[in-house]
Amino acid sequence: MSHQAMNGFGGKVLTLENMNPNVRKVEYAVRGAIVQRAEQIEKELKEGVKKPFTEVIKANIGDAHAMGQKPITFFRQVLALCAYPDLLDDNKFPEDAKQRARRILGACGGHSIGAYSASQGIECIRQDVSRYIEKRDGGIPSNPDNIYLSTGASDAIVTMLKLLVCGEGPDRTGVMISIPQYPLYSAALADLAAVQISYYLDEDRCWGLDVAELKRALSAARTHCNPRVICIINPGNPTGQVQSRKCIEDVIRFAKEEHLFLMADEVYQDNVYAEGCKFHSFKKVLFEMGPEFSSTVEMASFHSTSKCYMGECGFRGGYMEVINMDPEVKAQLTKLVSVRLCPPVTGQALLELVVNPPQPDEPSYSTFMKERTEVLAALAEKAGLTEKTFNTVPGIICNPVQGAMYTFPRITLPQRAIDTAKEEGLAPDMLYCMRLLEEEGICLVPGSGFGQREGTYHFRMTILPPTEKLKVVLQKIRDFHVRFTKQFS
């Protein structure tokens, strides 16, 4: 008799019914059902299935290189040298690239990026991150001890949330997140069984943030959880707004008054395009508000190598800086990151180059500056083009893309389309995006995946495709929208 039969059990040990229920609740729209269908369609195209289009254009995720953005030469030269040090004898590589590679390798165990690093990240890289932050913030000091290198920003955000979540029932930790939000937040909160507190951005005021709305969300949440954290994404994802200095001050004041831990997701800090908009880091504003705030407000801020002009998503590089954290908690954070051993050393090496790029007196400087400027200028041009084009379509309203890499236009859907979606068990903007994918080969994410005000519909689209391809994408969405509206009116 088999062991299983003796125990009287049949079927699988792990089933949907008995698995971790928190994991079942996790949803991650930017890689959700629509993307799986897009991948299926790509396979069908390869197999020769006839479609009304020849390729699937994935504008669902901020993956710059996948959309044809070229890597920065200097970054890849140094990484190549680190990965294969024999190339240090090759005269094809500029001297400053070799110098950077030698410095990185010198900080690695056995002079190899194949060795584990310290759990918090390689020390000399953390020092350079601190210097970068000081320079960015006009001289406000940064301590390398407060820098934690991470596997992209996502990993650090989840780690921080994990530290913050505790309590049962009405004492469970509540976390304030903006709606629309980046689904990493809702997914992490579901996984940790924390309570999501939604505060709505004001679409009519270019996705502005209003303290009255923060207060409304907070007092509503206090009845069923213990609000302890506020998360801010600036520049915004999926909404592309850039916060004003006054707005940041308001948020910091709110966090202090309500005794909240502040998480500032600033991964798009170099992606600011609109006239009159400027990136202000939460840390800089905090310190300029004086010691009443800068010595009390607890904060973590996050940055990544995946966005800005680098777009190096696959290397999974990032960092967080913690401020005013209780030293005993900081020891626990260090313990927690040590369980994961260390962030990828290739990602750490890349981050080192982002925070310590070629200087004006170095041979790689002019190429580096030219490439960086071209990438950001192209994104700025595409941000303007996207907003203008969408606003010429009846039934689409698009706010200015002030920063980041996305647009989140509002779409008006005919009542019949809304009813059809309900019959099919779909969110109305999911029906819209699915039809767009099947008919035009364009993959977008419905607004319902990010959260939106009841009765409004949106989609998120990246502005990353090359300009000529983006024009085609915008034209196809335009034609589709007109056709879809006619079909359901």
User: Three-class SS string for 152-174?
Assistant: HHHHHHHHHHHHHCCCCHHHCEE
DSSP string, 211-246: HHHHHHHHHHHTTTSEEEEEEEESS-TTT-----HH
For the record, the structure tokens of 348 come out as: 């750490």
- The residue assigned the tokens 């903006």 is 178
Q: Residues in the chain with pLDDT < 50?
A: none
pLDDT at 186: 87
Whether residue 168 sits in one domain with residue 32 = no
pLDDT at 6: 53
pLDDT at 242: 93
pLDDT tens profile 202-219: 999 888 899 999 999 999
pLDDT at 153: 87
Within a domain: 3 = no
Number of structural domains the chain divides into: 2
pLDDT at 13: 82
Within a domain: 81 = no
Within a domain: 375 = yes
Relative to beta strand 317-323, strand 299-304 is antiparallel
Residues contacting 9, CB < 8 A, separation 6+: none
Of 311, 327, 355, the last residue of a domain is 355
Q: What is the largest CA-CA distance in the chain?
A: 78
Give the global pTM: 0.89
pLDDT at 9: 67
Which residue range forms the structural domain that includes residue 388?
A: 21-68+368-488
pLDDT tens profile 313-354: 888 999 999 999 999 989 988 987 777 788 888 999 999 999
Whether residue 238 sits in one domain with residue 385 = no
* 419: three-class secondary structure by DSSP: helix
pLDDT at 96: 94
Whether residue 309 sits in one domain with residue 220 = yes
Helices then strands, counting H and E runs in the chain, come out as 18, 14
Whether residue 464 sits in one domain with residue 394 = yes
- Residue 271 DSSP symbol: -
pLDDT at 117: 81
Whether residue 327 sits in one domain with residue 376 = no
Of 309, 331, 355, the last residue of a domain is 355
Is the CB of residue 232 less than 8 Å from the CB of residue 182?
no
Is the CB of residue 390 less than 8 Å from the CB of residue 473?
no
pLDDT tens profile 222-259: 999 999 999 999 998 888 899 999 999 999 999 999 99
pLDDT at 101: 96
Distance CA 321, CA 251 (A): 18
Distance CA 195, CA 288 (A): 32
| Cis-peptide, bond into residue 400, ω within 30° of zero | no
- CA 61, 62, 65, 70 torsion-angle sign: positive
